[in-house]
Amino acid sequence: MVYEATATAPVNIACIKYWGKRDTKLILPTNSSLSVTLDQDHLRSTTTSRADESFEKGDRLWLNGKEEVVKPDGRLGVCIKELRNWRSVEEEKDSSLPKLSQWPLRIASYNNFPTAAGLASSASGLAALVASLARLYQLPQNASQLSLIARQGSGSACRSLFGGFVAWREGEKSDGSDSLAEEIEPQSHWPEMHAIICVVSDAKKGTSSTSGMQRTVETSTLLKERLKIVPERMKLISKAIKDKNFEEFAKITMKDSNSFHSVCLDTFPPIFYLNDVSKSIISVIEELNKSNGKIIAAYTFDAGPNAVIYSLKENIPKVLGAINKFFPTSEESKDPFKLTPVDLPENFD
Ligand code: 2P0
């Protein structure tokens, strides 16, 4: 009998950015964040987990075919341990269940896009790992409960367990039990929403998010100001999503991206994620919106120079026209990424 499960999770792109931890071990953020999960046909991680009594002792994991060390107290090790604990609770309740929690694991994960290129590979990777183990172990926990585990693998991973529009609530408790992700609206609520990924560079980023955000927490005075405005932004953007008010959604998204990169610059030594091409993309989007007499596109940038542009389907040709005019690209990268829900761990085999 083979006990094996596969799950996929897509990349999510934050409109309200997570940047800073109040607890680095449990990965508890200094502010809530909100993201849109991309269509899993495009940028996604796929993870297969297998438990077998006959495997040699110890868990092993391969990422894109290369073996990674699983340290028991490292991020991956903690996620595996927590999910194993949940499985052993089920095994205690029902003695007919095979003792999968006691068997070694072999895990293989693949990204269909470059790792560490500022395209949130850790988010989809950790979410797919948690989803595949939850499926292997047939866990009864829902996606929000699983997000508590994914969060400890990589903060932004907790949001990739859902499709559509997703909030990660910062929570108040010191044990992290209320710092979880929840769906604001499914993708089907606003299917016209599209995202275009502009890969400015697929090189590995200079300052990792993990170290960069803690340097910001330690040195930036501007971060304190940012933390005052994020709660109101969370409310306003959630309402904009519910009302399908694109202009309001876009304005908040662009302002929050600008705010995030400002605190990066206010970090000491400063962190620069945007390059000249990124800044030109901002200008092109501003001009496009001005010439249309209303906001039809929103840019946002994560911990790297690549742009994500949100726009409604009807305006995608205009956005692509403007981008291609100033930044000619290859044929395959002209395809806009549409959004669909993630394959949730509820659908256990
Ligand atoms: C976000 N980023 O909200 C923000 C915007 C980058 C810029 O979440 O240390 O890789 O693993 O919790 O999740 C990147 O941070 O950091 C991130 P860890 P993570 O998407």
Judge whether 120 lies within some domain: yes
Residue 18 Cβ inside 6 Å of ligand 1? The answer reads yes
* Mean pLDDT value of segment 324-349: 51
Instruction: Assess whether 36 and 171 both reside in one domain.
Output: yes
Give the type of residue at 142. Answer: N
The residue from 128, 161, 189 where one domain ends is: 189
Instruction: Assess whether 110 and 209 both reside in one domain.
Output: no
Label residue 337 by pLDDT band (50, 70, 90): very low
Instruction: Assess whether 197 and 185 both reside in one domain.
Output: no
Instruction: Assess whether 280 and 261 both reside in one domain.
Output: yes
Instruction: Estimate to the nearest angstrom the gap between the alpha carbon of 179 and the chain centroid.
Output: 15
Residue 154 Cβ inside 6 Å of ligand 1? The answer reads yes
Query: How far does residue 45's CA lie from ligand 1's centre (Å)?
Result: 16
Judge whether 198 lies within some domain: yes
pTM of the prediction? 0.93
Query: How far does residue 147's CA lie from ligand 1's centre (Å)?
Result: 15
* Mean pLDDT value of segment 325-349: 50
- The ipTM (two decimal places) reads 0.99
Residue 301 Cβ inside 6 Å of ligand 1? The answer reads no
- Evaluate whether 193 touches 297 at the Cβ level (below 8 Å): no
Instruction: Assess whether 214 and 181 both reside in one domain.
Output: no
- 47: domain range? 3-189
Instruction: Assess whether 210 and 159 both reside in one domain.
Output: no
Residue 42 Cβ inside 6 Å of ligand 1? The answer reads no
Give the pLDDT confidence score for residue 99 in this predicted structure.
97
- Flag the least confident range among 1-5, 40-44, 252-256, 285-289: 40-44
Q: Which of 28, 130, 154, 208 to mutate to test the pocket of ligand 1 (most atoms within 8 A of CB)?
A: 154
Percent of the chain whose pLDDT exceeds 70: 91
Judge whether 348 lies within some domain: no
Ligand 1 atom at shortest distance from the alpha carbon of 24: 9
Distance CA(230)–CA(24), nearest Å, equals 20
The residue from 189, 219, 234 where one domain ends is: 189
Q: What are the pLDDT digits (tens) for 264-322? A: 999 999 999 999 999 999 999 999 999 999 999 999 999 999 999 999 999 999 999 99
Instruction: Assess whether 296 and 152 both reside in one domain.
Output: no
Q: What are the pLDDT digits (tens) for 178-193? A: 999 999 999 999 999 9
Dihedral over Cα of 139, 127, 60, 46: its sign: positive
Instruction: Assess whether 199 and 87 both reside in one domain.
Output: no
Instruction: Assess whether 149 and 23 both reside in one domain.
Output: yes
The residue from 189, 224, 245 where one domain ends is: 189
- Answer yes or no: is pLDDT of 1 > 90: no
Residue 210 Cβ inside 6 Å of ligand 1? The answer reads yes
Nearest CA to ligand 1 atom 9: 210
Q: Which of 11, 17, 18 to mutate to test the pocket of ligand 1 (most atoms within 8 A of CB)?
A: 18
Judge whether 262 lies within some domain: yes
Helix (H, G, I), strand (E, B) or coil at 306: coil
- Flag the least confident range among 64-68, 117-121, 322-326, 330-334: 330-334
Count CB neighbours of 347 within 10 A: 8
Look up the CATH number of the domain holding residue 201.
3.30.70.890
Instruction: Assess whether 59 and 174 both reside in one domain.
Output: yes
CA dihedral in degrees (205, 206, 209, 211; nearest 10)? 150
- Answer yes or no: is pLDDT of 336 > 50: no
**Residue 203, CA distances (Å) to 111, 135, 250, 335 in order:** 15, 34, 28, 21
Nearest CA to ligand 1 atom 7: 302
Label residue 331 by pLDDT band (50, 70, 90): low
Look up the CATH number of the domain holding residue 119.
3.30.230.10
Instruction: Assess whether 314 and 329 both reside in one domain.
Output: yes
Query: How far does residue 61's CA lie from ligand 1's centre (Å)?
Result: 22
* Mean pLDDT value of segment 240-264: 98
Instruction: Assess whether 30 and 161 both reside in one domain.
Output: yes
Ligand 1 atom at shortest distance from the alpha carbon of 13: 20
Q: Which of 213, 256, 300 to mutate to test the pocket of ligand 1 (most atoms within 8 A of CB)?
A: 213
Residue 194 Cβ inside 6 Å of ligand 1? The answer reads no
- Flag the least confident range among 314-318, 327-331, 339-343: 339-343
Number of folded domains that form the chain:
2
Count CB neighbours of 345 within 10 A: 25
